[in-house]
Structure 1
Amino acid sequence: MPHAAGYRGPVPAPTGHARFAGVLLHDVVECVDVRATPERLRTPGWWALVGEFEGDVRAWRFASADECADAEPEGAADTPAWHGPRADDWTSSLDRAAYTAAVQRVREHVREGDVYQANLCRVLSAPLAGSRGGEPDAAALARRLASGNPAPYAGHVHVPAGAPVPAAGGPDPSVWVVSASPELFLDLADGVLTSAPIKGTAATPAGLTPKDTAENVMITDLVRNDLQRVSDPGSVEVTQLLGLEHHPGLVHLVSTVTGALAPAVRAAPDLWGRLLAATYPPGSVSGAPKSAALRVVAELEPVPRGPYCGLVGWLHNGQDGAVRARLAVGIRTFWWTPQEGGVLRFGTGAGITWGSDPEAEWAETELKAARLIGLASR
């Protein structure tokens, strides 16, 4: 992979660009519907992936890739600044009363034996027009977040509408997503698959409760079961349980699960179809059991989550057949769409169990959103 030490400034946008986990991708070659044609992701080269919580997953293959340092802080002399919506323009798909009522409804589902846990989310949105009739600068927002809220799986993917991307008869190639995700969905290296679900959030370690611990253990078990569907029998293990991670303004409980891919899965032309069928959407943002939790989410959330709680990341297929991938859970994530004059969205949520207090869960969604919404607003 070519090295671009000292890279500065935005990448020209006509054919799209992406940046994630130390890799800068530019010049889109094609866009693929991963669910429909997963075998296409065996094509050698670098791919950026964005998945929506509701199931659609798209991938863009790029002509070139550079190693890069963390994004330049906003305000560097040769980088444009981010111009976001006004702070008081944000509205929520569920207000406080509606959200706390929905939390109570999840608790009723738990009492009735439908689920053990469900992740309940709301989507914040604000009008934001593109500059000079174009689209907002995703790279500029990514720099703003990298400066004010650094995250281990931060990145962005931006392919403007109208970009000359081959996708005839396939998915819409345009995309605008910026993420400051702290959570690893899937890492694939040397045939070993790793996932690190986050459950349990507080402002300080002292704020974590027994409910957070129980929730993390439930979801870790769910992720372990997901990985077992594609791994060698006996190879799946929890290498870290209830680890404590510090992030800007937050602490999280994080567990890590690994498994060695079964040889038939590792060699399959539809590798990514199999991996997504076993693991997607991520368990930490769905609930347990996953299928029942998804039905509860569909009942209670009034708008689609889109890329929020989906996936964002990259994969690389070497000429020697080696596959390397790193995909984040699409939390702490913004996405922009041109409809209605342009709208910027951001999701926030919390895991609900029988031990949940509705007001405390609302407060958790506020805590997760406050810093990032502040950075994205003017």
Structure 2
Amino acid sequence: MTARVVETRNRPWRDPLAVADGLKHLVGPLALLSDGGALGRWSFVAAEPDQVHVGPLPSDGDLHRLGAPPFETGVVGLIAYDAGARAATGPRPEVWPDLMLARYPAMLAFDHRNRSVSVIGRGDDAAAARTAAERAEGWLTAARDPARPAAPAASFDAEAPSGTYTDAVADVVDRIAAGELFQANIARAWAGTLAPEADPFDVLLRLADRAAAYGAFWRLGDLAIVSNSPELFLTFDPHTRRIETRPIKGTRPRDADPARDAALAVELEASAKDRAENLMIVDLMRNDLARVALPGSVAADRLFEIESHPTVHHLVSTVSGLAKEGAGPADLLAATFPPGSITGAPKHQAMKVIASHEPPRGPWCGSLFHIEDDGRMTASVLIRTASFRRSGDGWRFRALAGAGIVADSEPEAELAETDAKILALREALNGS
């Protein structure tokens, strides 16, 4: 793979959401919008990719063989959950392409900590890189402060009755008691249509006051996603060879009363059920990372930390390892996808059980990833995510929320957890 020339320019701070709003009409608009917190220092905005792949995975599953574009710098990609689950579930109806990849010659990187913007141009030679940088710089001048739009969807309809979900939870609890598995993440889905004049970008604007570390908007052709994910799937630093994953397992809703809200966080941190659920996935992720890590390098760095988000508290752990020499982003994704936090344990059996209760998931609980110029990869878990498909009557959307089911799960409590998790997206889509 021939190294590309990169030209970088430093510019004063601009709001990345305002810049993204100014280029949403272009081809292939992309906004990776972080909250500026400890895990979300960087945001990225781009448009007009020069190479795109939307379609199936290679028949042998070898991600390295993709030629348009390969896994190289400036590439953003999305792997649908069902692409990774197929080995366990067998063929299922396709609701979303297995893999979306796009290479962006021009890109803006926003450093929330230092309040600066890097203008990035990439090309096969210095002249091409300079031209791409000029295009990216023009996006800064087109920035505009967006107004909060009205709710873009008239309805937010459950695809199945609540009883279908509680029955599924009860069935999984019975399967666990029978020794079939230890945990499975079971989801509910909602769907609807955007108003004729509305766009998926409107949903991102309505989530702006609830930004997460791995927020995103991406549109390629007639497909789009809006994600407000707080969950890191993988980071990879090619210089230190460090791989890190931060699975989320354990949730409580936020409360408007500060005392009650704090009590819910304390309750979550002390919950034996939630800690056990979290630890199962930590062990699963340790095993997944061990496939591509140096022997003895995989460790659980931190366990059971509380992260508080606008609508929920989460229990989060951190697992890391050192990648084997020669292992790159494609190897890491192939070894660990789909994320263990949204499948269960054992992973293969959990995916079979999920398929027995759910239609295909599409991009939800897949992964959105970005490979930077130094080869660093960041991949999120696509929770808190709505997918959109444009047809003759406008944009149709689908959104899901799930809960990890273990031996002592109570169906009604798990149902309530999915309601808490979908709340921000529900309000962003139709205001209710």
Same fold per superposition (TM over 0.5) = yes
Q: Which amino acid aligns with 1:236?
A: V
Correspondence 1:27 to 2:48: yes
Q: Which amino acid aligns with 1:308?
A: W
After superposition, what is the alpha-carbon deviation per residue over 1:139-177, rounded to whole angstroms, capped at 9, x for unaligned?
332232122x1211111111233xxxxxxxxxxxxx301
Which deviates the most, 357-366 or 342-351? 342-351
The 5 A counterparts of 1:21-100 are 21=34, 22-32=43-53, 35-36=57-58, 38-39=63-64, 40=67, 42=70, 44-55=72-83, 56-68=98-110, 78-79=145-146, 81-86=148-153, 89-100=155-166
Q: Which amino acid aligns with 2:190?
A: L
Query: C-alpha displacement at 1:315, in angstroms?
Result: 1.2
Match of 1:376 in 2: 429
SS in 1 for 2:82: coil
C-alpha contact 2:26 2:47 (8 A) present in aligned 1: no
Correspondence 1:120 to 2:186: yes
C-alpha contact 1:2 1:65 (8 A) present in aligned 2: no
Q: Distance in 2 between matches of 1:130 and 1:29?
A: 30
Q: Distance in 1 between matches of 2:101 and 2:150?
A: 28
After superposition, what is the alpha-carbon deviation per residue over 1:220-272, rounded to whole angstroms, capped at 9, x for unaligned?
10011000000011111111111111111211110001111100324xxxx51
Query: C-alpha displacement at 1:339, in angstroms?
Result: 4.1
Match of 2:309 in 1: 247
Match of 2:22 in 1: 10
Q: Distance in 2 between matches of 1:205 and 1:126?
A: 33
Q: Distance in 2 between matches of 1:339 and 1:355?
A: 43
Q: 2:244 aligns with which of 194, 219, 223?
A: 194
Q: Distance in 2 between matches of 1:81 and 1:6?
A: 18
SS in 1 for 2:75: strand
Q: Distance in 1 between matches of 2:296 and 2:190?
A: 42
Describe the shift of the 1:207–1:343 C-alpha distance in structure 2 as closer, same or farther (beyond 3 A): farther
Q: Which runs of 5+ in 2 are unaligned?
A: 1-7, 35-42, 84-97, 113-142, 254-263
The 5 A counterparts of 1:360-375 are 360-375=413-428
Correspondence 1:280 to 2:307: no
C-alpha contact 1:146 1:154 (8 A) present in aligned 2: no
Correspondence 1:294 to 2:319: no
Give the structure, 1 or 2, with the largest relative contact order (CA under 8 Å, sep 6 or more). 1
Match of 1:311 in 2: 367
Match of 1:152 in 2: 213
Describe the shift of the 1:192–1:34 C-alpha distance in structure 2 as closer, same or farther (beyond 3 A): farther
Q: Distance in 2 between matches of 1:361 and 1:77?
A: 42
Count of matched residue pairs: 344
SS in 1 for 2:243: strand
After superposition, what is the alpha-carbon deviation per residue over 1:63-109, rounded to whole angstroms, capped at 9, x for unaligned?
21102367xxxxx974254344446x211123211100000010111
Q: Which runs of 5+ in 1 are unaligned?
A: 71-75, 162-174
C-alpha contact 1:53 1:309 (8 A) present in aligned 2: yes
After superposition, what is the alpha-carbon deviation per residue over 1:112-132, rounded to whole angstroms, capped at 9, x for unaligned?
21110000001111122442x
Q: Distance in 2 between matches of 1:84 and 1:312?
A: 25
SS in 1 for 2:204: helix
Match of 1:185 in 2: 233
- Return the index of the structure with the highest Cα Rg: 2
Which deviates the most, 138-147 or 116-125? 138-147
SS in 2 for 1:231: coil
Quote the RMSD (CA, aligned, Å): 2.2
Taking only the aligned residue pairs, the percentage that are identical comes to 33
C-alpha contact 1:34 1:59 (8 A) present in aligned 2: no
C-alpha contact 2:183 2:406 (8 A) present in aligned 1: yes
Q: Which amino acid aligns with 1:155?
A: A
Q: 2:167 aligns with which of 86, 101, 105?
A: 101
C-alpha contact 2:247 2:341 (8 A) present in aligned 1: yes
Query: C-alpha displacement at 1:276, in angstroms?
Result: 2.2
Q: 1:337 aligns with which of 389, 410, 418?
A: 389
Q: Distance in 2 between matches of 1:340 and 1:102?
A: 35
Q: Distance in 2 between matches of 1:213 and 1:44?
A: 38
Q: Distance in 2 between matches of 1:123 and 1:261?
A: 36
Q: Distance in 2 between matches of 1:146 and 1:354?
A: 37
Describe the shift of the 1:105–1:12 C-alpha distance in structure 2 as closer, same or farther (beyond 3 A): closer
Describe the shift of the 1:127–1:349 C-alpha distance in structure 2 as closer, same or farther (beyond 3 A): same
C-alpha contact 2:72 2:371 (8 A) present in aligned 1: no
